[in-house]
Structure 1
Amino acid sequence: MNHNKGNPIAKLTAACCATIMLATPAIATADSGVDVSNWQGCVNTSRAQSAKAAGTSFAFVKVTEGAGYTDKSADCSMTGFANAGIRRGVYHFARPDLGNSPEKEADWFISQTKGYVNQGVIPVLDWEPGGKWNTQTWWAKRWLDRVASAWGVKPMIYMSASVVQSGDWRAVASADYGLWVAGYPRGYTGDRLRNPGNVPYNVSPWSFAAAWQYSSSGNVAGVGQAVDVNWFYGDAVTWAKYAGQADTKPVTPPTVTPSEPKPSTPTGDTDTLARAVIRGEYGNMPQRKTLLGSRFDEVQARVNQLLASSGSTSSGSSGSTSVTVRAGDTMSAIAQRTGLYPVTAWSVPSGNINRIYPGQTVTYRGASKTTTSTTRRHTVRAGETLGTIAAANGVSVSQIRGYRSGNPNLIYVGETLYW
């Protein structure tokens, strides 16, 4: 996500003027949706209607970050989605790494979103601070509690599948804060709005995920060509329950059958397929076995050979680099710490870069790290994109490294980029 300063969110009167789908909930025919920020600009009514026609049933909109930033496109997009009859959520990007208390950031979010209380809108905490902060679940719990008290609604919490496993989230899960999990079994290849089936990751201590962001590379009419696409496990009535418009708690979602047939047995040489598995493009078991079909045994055998060849040393004669995973690590954090990109060039024991555990050895198999003696660095400022940074410094976007998401469309204020 990119971050620009903007005007505060409009108050309750503006929100009430919009036509809101949840005013008379109806069973949804599909539960695909998007999440957007100022990177997509204002998704006005016309754009939102195109997104609706393409299958968008809900949208999460970034509103705030830290303790003083409001997304300049948020109010406009919220109005556009409401006018198109698309269910809505609002999210806050947590910045504990800036030294802010959870109460201070919660109060800022509350001040900017109070016009959406009791409007069928779900509040969300976007939890991806990186590094050691991923494990600071107490911070997230206090933010959630503060917002729940003010809104009268239990917020959801968004995080990657690897972060779910990196900390003790039992207090958050037991307090009934729903989980919106992110994980990309197909990597960063192009995707679309679709039914992805059941979440292929371990989300314990939650018994299930309320929503799954299955790709950050979706092509959605009216929104864009590199959009976060999501599946919500429920319908409009379920959404209303999460948004506090029903007395009963959200029900456990049923098992979901994907709406599209599984891909046929892949073609290509064994080595290429094995490296795609290591990058996480074929997910975890049993999904991987299904996707590889009759070629599973040969490809998995090559995967095992490639992983075994990494050894346990810091660097090998082939130029590979191995790192022992620490508590709270994500592959994005390890890539940022070592300066070795892209994230997809790392191999991990599970075969999925979103699923690593402390004590495991992960190995980088891409090009060697740029030497610090010739490296130029830049700290991301509010409103910048990789494109504007590249243009200002006379380099191409492909030369820039250091963004912890591994996705060139997703950079954060304060992170250091280099080339």
Structure 2
Amino acid sequence: MPVHRSGTVRRPRLIRHFPAAGVILAALSLLFTLPTAAQAADTPARGSASMGMGVAEHDGQGGLPTGDQATQTEGVDTSSHNGNVAWSTLWNSGVKWAYVKATEGTYYTNPYFAQQYNGSYNVGMIRGSYHFATPDTTSGATQANYFVDHGGGWSADGRTLPGALDIEWNPYGAACYGKTAAGMVSWIRDFVNQYKARTGRDAVIYTATSWWQQCTGNSSAFGTTNPLWVARYNTDPGELPAGWLYYTMWQYTSSGPTVGDHSKFNGAYDRLQALANG
């Protein structure tokens, strides 16, 4: 605002002659700031992301599998949102495998990891852990190391699945984390290469086809090395990302009766054991 030589604040001429204009201008200013405030309020807290967080929003939620797929094996994935999981109930309902969120970025570990990871194992399930990627915070190799150091390792016990990289819509900002398609492919490559160097296993890649097309340019770089876990909440898995001729797992709903996220392993139980064994 302009100031008189005397040091007093001088109100704009419009407000001096028409006092009501000041009220109108203040209201307009508040109106134009509201969307930004609302967007900030809608942004979840760091660490709260889980598998499929953006799938229903971006791809929609359709029907359940039609039952005409080949022999498949039921599984679930869990995070801190699920708290202490009733693993015996899930086992008795036919769930035979589970993936548990271990880490996110390099700043978060799941406080329920031990109950979920060990609990699923103790009832007889084959289980693994997953990392929610945040490519805008640190490098792929750095996050792979953090994952392995905080529950993402692998052991040849016949009951442990290779770790999974959850790479999908950014719940905290821009969908592609501010990266070009080439930059995203490079980040993913750094992660899976470092994970294999640490564990000897190729990480599973969890993603949705629409995100993969948008944010990697539909890269075919990983189809021959990394098992695909595709997310699509509908009656079939639909189009797969480039490079993969088939999916290893398909997350088909976030509305399961006990734990929301349910998936099908694309094969009988013995093939699931083979994946665990490497």
1:122 to partner: Cα distance: 2.1
Q: How does the TM-score come out when normalised to structure 1?
A: 0.45
Describe the SS at the equivalent of 1:51: helix
Matches within 5 A, 1:29-44: 31-43=73-85
- One-letter amino acid of the structure 2 residue matched with residue 36 of structure 1: T
Could you tell me which residue of structure 1 aligns to residue 161 of structure 2?
121
Q: CA 1:58–1:181 in structure 2 vs 1: closer, same or farther (change >3 Å)?
A: same
Contact 1:3 1:38 in 2 (8 A): no
**Alpha-carbon distance between aligned partners in 2 of 1:217 and 1:210, rounded to the nearest angstrom:** 21
Contact 1:110 1:150 in 2 (8 A): yes
- Give aligned-pair identity as a percent: 29
Root-mean-square deviation (Å): 2.3
**Alpha-carbon distance between aligned partners in 2 of 1:89 and 1:235, rounded to the nearest angstrom:** 17
Tell me whether 1:57 sits opposite 2:57 in the alignment.
no
Matches within 5 A, 1:330-349: none
Q: Deviations over 1:115-156 (max 9, x none)?
A: 643232221000014323473121111101111111111110
Could you tell me which residue of structure 2 aligns to residue 17 of structure 1?
none
1:181 to partner: Cα distance: 0.5
Contact 1:30 1:57 in 2 (8 A): no
Could you tell me which residue of structure 1 aligns to residue 176 of structure 2?
132
Contact 2:80 2:111 in 1 (8 A): yes
Contact 2:73 2:265 in 1 (8 A): yes
Could you tell me which residue of structure 1 aligns to residue 9 of structure 2?
none
Describe the SS at the equivalent of 1:49: helix
Could you tell me which residue of structure 2 aligns to residue 184 of structure 1?
233
Q: Which blocks of at least 5 consecutive residues in structure 1 are unaligned?
A: 6-28, 186-195, 247-419
Could you tell me which residue of structure 2 aligns to residue 237 of structure 1?
270
1:30 to partner: Cα distance: 5.6
1:200 to partner: Cα distance: 2.1
Q: Deviations over 1:227-265 (max 9, x none)?
A: 11111102333223323x25xxxxxxxxxxxxxxxxxxx
- One-letter amino acid of the structure 1 residue matched with residue 187 of structure 2: W
Q: How does the TM-score come out when normalised to structure 2?
A: 0.66
**Alpha-carbon distance between aligned partners in 2 of 1:36 and 1:110, rounded to the nearest angstrom:** 18
**Alpha-carbon distance between aligned partners in 1 of 2:153 and 2:186, rounded to the nearest angstrom:** 28
**Alpha-carbon distance between aligned partners in 2 of 1:114 and 1:202, rounded to the nearest angstrom:** 26
- One-letter amino acid of the structure 2 residue matched with residue 142 of structure 1: D
Aligned residues: 201
More contact order relative to length (CA 8 Å, sep ≥ 6): 2
Matches within 5 A, 1:101-250: 101-113=139-151, 116-119=154-157, 120-130=160-170, 131-133=175-177, 135=181, 136-166=184-214, 167-174=217-224, 176-185=225-234, 198-220=236-258, 223=259, 227-243=260-276, 245-246=277-278
Could you tell me which residue of structure 1 aligns to residue 113 of structure 2?
74
Describe the SS at the equivalent of 1:181: strand
**Alpha-carbon distance between aligned partners in 1 of 2:189 and 2:198, rounded to the nearest angstrom:** 14
Q: CA 1:218–1:153 in structure 2 vs 1: closer, same or farther (change >3 Å)?
A: same
1:218 to partner: Cα distance: 1.4
Contact 1:30 1:55 in 2 (8 A): no
Structure showing greater Rg: 2
Q: CA 1:55–1:3 in structure 2 vs 1: closer, same or farther (change >3 Å)?
A: farther
**Alpha-carbon distance between aligned partners in 2 of 1:79 and 1:209, rounded to the nearest angstrom:** 27
Contact 1:3 1:71 in 2 (8 A): no
1:163 to partner: Cα distance: 1.9
Contact 2:251 2:262 in 1 (8 A): yes
Could you tell me which residue of structure 2 aligns to residue 369 of structure 1?
none
Could you tell me which residue of structure 1 aligns to residue 38 of structure 2?
none
Q: Deviations over 1:54-104 (max 9, x none)?
A: 111111100000013110111111111011111112100001122x01111
Q: Which blocks of at least 5 consecutive residues in structure 2 are unaligned?
A: 1-43, 49-70
